[in-house]
Amino acid sequence: MRHMSQQALWSGRFAGGMAESTLDFTTSLETDSALAFFDVMGSLAHVRMLKKCQIIPEDDADRIIEGLKTIVAEMENGEFKLDFSLEDIHTNVEFRLTELIGPAGGKLHTGRSRNDQVATDYRMYLRESVLEIVSSIDALIDVMVKIAQDHGNTILPGFTHMQHAQPVTVAQHYLAYAFKLSRDADRFMDAYNRMNKCPLGAAALAGTTYPIDRKMTAKALGFNGPTENSLDSVSDRDFVSEIAFAASQTQIHLSGLSEELIYWSSQEFGFVEMDDKYTTGSSIMPQKKNPDITELIRGRTGSVIGTLMNMLVMQKGLPLSYNRDLQEDKKALMDSLDCLLQCVNIMCPVLSTIRFNTDRMRAAVENGFINATDLADYLVVKGIPFREAHGIVGAAVRYCIDTDKKLEDLSLEEFGKFSDCIGEDVYNCITVDMCVERRNSLGGTSSASTDEQILTVIEQKMVRYENVRQENQLLEACWNELLE
Ligand code: ARG
């Protein structure tokens, strides 16, 4: 419940104030107050431009600048009070400004509209969120690289259809996730770069009659340049969809990883044990140690994916240009990005403290005829076509099942029943270690290959690290300059 409406920015045309229920229904302040800092930065860039282009008198511009700086200081020490009778953050900032400096504050809104203002503020907000998420993803990639470095020779079963397929290493396994996450981080940066243009100056929808300098404001706010079309600038939220997708895909990767850790830590698998610090107990069963963190990561994936649908459907069928529907672009996405960030951040210590039960992995790999492909490959080297070799090994596997043996247990005589090409050298080719080491094709599971992959994924991360560092530095410099 909020109190009676103060004057809205647009009250002139209206005979009476809006109903309390209208304000309650249309307000966005609870959400867009998160844009407060960026709103003031946008205003500072705008007023400096108005001053330079001589659109408003210099002394008024200077008074506005001082007032806006005071507002930033108030925000920083928690003194800036939100007035919920005012419908959004833009109105709150402008009212406070006028309170501080008098009627000159009213000149700030020359040549702009809340439509271009909110599109600009939100892009600035999302830029910072994206940079933070990318840094966190890269920290998680670091954890995975460390696991890969420590476990280049730790062998476990590789699965397809959840069935033993071929042996792989823990290094290869976690590098798979590292590359997935590396693409996720790149996707965020791609979205960042496309989003990084400034809508300010598009005004309500059609541009403005004032001789504004949009390149100046874009530069002052750290954008790559101004957006190209005013109608497009205030009407599109495709950047929101892209970021919602990047978030969903990352969360899906974390969810798959979580699911795997959950059953890997079950009694049946026992491949890993999570550190006590990152598990929880049961109120009734004293023996329990539950993987709740990973379950919650998996569980929260629903709402992140839901946000992507939310954003897409919210935009469906919107005619040009600004429509109030677009106000719904914030809450769910902001919440989802917070959720994703938390999930990535907690996954780092969960993984870095995990204990791999290498004996259990090794024992598992000895079962399920995981070296069958290698026996077939051995026959191919002896000149047998792969398709035929496949059939020979299939028959040998069936024989082993019937006689309760493993392929490596068969004598040369037994092998002879299936093919006369099999010699003493077969045993060396079908040890689990050889199965791994001989898979040295590019991207394969051999230690030589995983060493190479480690270098590649680190390189990808370093490129991003440098981009993120430069962007953060640029934005920091912009804020400092605007507050000078
Ligand atoms: N609160 C709006 C939004 O988030 C911005 C204000 C534009 N409002 C308007 N009536 N044109 O999209």
pLDDT the model gives residue 2: 46
Residue 446: band (very low, low, confident or very high) from pLDDT cuts 50, 70, 90: very high
pLDDT tens digits, residue range 447-467?
999 999 999 999 999 999 999
Pocket lining: 93 vs ligand 1, CB cutoff 6 Å: no
Can you tell me the distance from the alpha carbon of 406 to that of 66, in angstroms, rounded to the nearest whole number? 81
pLDDT at 11 > cutoff 90: no
Find where tokens 């009694």 sit: 267
Average pLDDT over residues 257-261: 98
Helices of type H across 84-113: 89-101
Q: Residue 115: CB within 6 Å of ligand 1?
A: yes
CA distance 11 to 17: 7
Sorting pLDDT into bands at 50, 70 and 90, what band is 289? Answer: confident
| Ligand 1, atom nearest to 88 Cα | 1
374 Cβ contact list (under 8 Å, min separation 6): 166, 429, 430, 434, 435, 438
Q: Are 327 and 27 in contact (CB under 8 A)?
A: no
| 324 alpha carbon – ligand 1 mean position (Å) | 6
- Interacting residues of 336 by C-beta distance below 8 A, sequence separation 6+: 244, 247, 251, 303, 304, 307
Is 90 one of the annotated active-site residues of the chain? no
Work out the average pLDDT over 308-328: 98
pLDDT in tens, 139-157: 999 999 999 999 999 999 9
- Mean pLDDT for the stretch of residues 200-212: 98
The closest of 338, 314, 336 to 327, measured between CA atoms, is 314
Non-local (6+) Cβ contacts of 122 within 8 A are 35, 240, 329, 330
Q: For 280, phi and psi rounded to 5 degrees?
A: -130, 165
CA 97 – CA 105 distance, rounded (Å): 6
Here the tokens at position 448 are 């030589």
Interval 99-149: pLDDT, tens = 999 999 999 999 999 999 999 999 999 999 999 999 999 999 999 999 999
- Per the CB < 8 A criterion, the answer to whether 322 and 205 are in contact is yes
- pLDDT at position 57: 98
**Burial grade of 49 (CB within 10 A; 0-12, 13-18, 19 or more):** buried
In this structure, what token pair is assigned to residue 125? 């907000």
Q: Which residues of 251-284 are buried (b: 16+ CB within 10 A; e: fewer)?
A: bbbbbebbebbbebbeeeeebbbbeeebbeeeee
Give the chain's count of helices (H) and strands (E). 19, 4
Question: Does residue 326 line the site of ligand 1, with CB under 6 A?
Answer: yes
So what's the pLDDT on residue 6? 64
Question: Helix 331-352 crosses helix 238-264 at what angle (to 10 degrees)?
Answer: 30
28 lines ligand 1 (CB under 6 A): yes
Encode pLDDT of 168-179 as tens digits. 999 999 999 999
CA distance 265 to 467: 37
Q: Read off the tokens for 240.
A: 């929101």
The yes-or-no answer on residue 390 being catalytic is no
Interval 220-230: pLDDT, tens: 999 999 999 99
| Identity of the residue numbered 460 | Q
Name the average pLDDT for the chain: 96
- Return the number of other C-beta atoms located less than 10 Å from residue 343's C-beta: 24
pLDDT category of residue 1 using cuts at 50, 70 and 90? very low
Q: Ligand 1 pocket check: which of 9, 92, 118 to mutate, most ligand atoms within 8 Å of Cβ?
A: 118
- Residue 3 pLDDT exceeds 70: no
Q: Using alpha carbons only, what angle is made at residue 366 by residues 362 and 367, rounded to the nearest 5 degrees? A: 125
Nearest to 433 by CA among 151, 153, 150: 153
The pair of three-digit structure tokens given for residue 478, joined into one six-digit string: 């912009």
CB 237 near ligand 1, within 6 Å: no
32 CA from centroid of ligand 1 (Å) = 10
Phi, psi dihedral angles at 167 (to 5 degrees):
-75, 145
pLDDT tens for 367-385 read 889 999 999 999 999 999 9
Query: Among 102, 8, 78, 89, which residue's Cα sits nearest to residue 43?
Result: 89
Selecting among 3, 11, 266, 282, the annotated active-site residue is 282
Q: Give the residue, out of 115, 116, 126, with the most ligand 1 atoms within 8 A of its beta carbon, to mutate for a pocket test.
A: 115
Catalytic member of 85, 135, 161, 449? 161
What's the burial of 21, exposed, middle or buried (CB within 10 Å: 0-12/13-18/19+)? exposed
Report which protein residue has its CA nearest ligand 1's atom 11: 115
Atom number in ligand 1 closest to CA 10: 10
Q: Ligand 1 within 6 A of 88 CB? A: yes
What pLDDT digit, counting tens, does each position of 331-367 carry?
999 999 999 999 999 999 999 999 999 999 999 999 8
Helix (H) or strand (E) holding 279: none
Strand segments, DSSP code E, in 82-162 are 155-160
Cα separation, 105 vs 100, whole angstroms = 8
17 — pLDDT class (breaks 50, 70, 90): confident
**Placement of tokens 């933070």 in the chain:** 132
